[in-house]
Amino acid sequence: MKRTREAAFETAIEAVLLGDGHTRIEARGFDCERAIFPDEALAFIRTMQPEVWKKLESLHGKPTGARVLEWLLKWLVVNGTLATPRHGFRGFGKTTRFAGAPKERRAALIPAAVTGQITLEEMTG
């Protein structure tokens, strides 16, 4: 696909998402190497799974965020971006589930939240 066509395609996707009420997230927070918005992903997990997060923090202390991202990314590679939101991901004996949205919307919303296409507030609100 030519660059101009790709840019137009991205603009069209963004217009649809913004038109549906999603919020733009600044690109500077995107980790290109790992293809994720790490701060958004961790904030989402902390908010949606506070009990699990507390247990993980008691095990790992300060590097909890780095460890969670590490096993989330590994899990995504092995299980994919569709299975992970549907079933959660597991690491260090804990399963982190993606809950809070109506079940029928969960599969669409969670990859968007984790990759920063929508904000945590949109997911949980």
Helix 103-114 crosses helix 38-48 at what angle (to 10 degrees)? 140
Identify the band that residue 17 occupies on the pLDDT scale cut at 50, 70 and 90: confident
For the chain, give the percent of residues with pLDDT over 70.
Answer: 74
Give the tens place of pLDDT for each residue, 68-77. 899 888 888 8
Are the beta carbons of 116 and 25 closer than 8 angstroms? Answer: yes
Residue 85, pLDDT > 80, answer no
How many Å apart are CA 124 and CA 122, to the nearest integer? Answer: 6
Domains of the chain: which residue ranges? 28-124
The predicted model scores a pTM of 0.62
Identify the band that residue 43 occupies on the pLDDT scale cut at 50, 70 and 90: confident
CA dihedral 114, 119, 121, 125 (to 10 degrees): -80
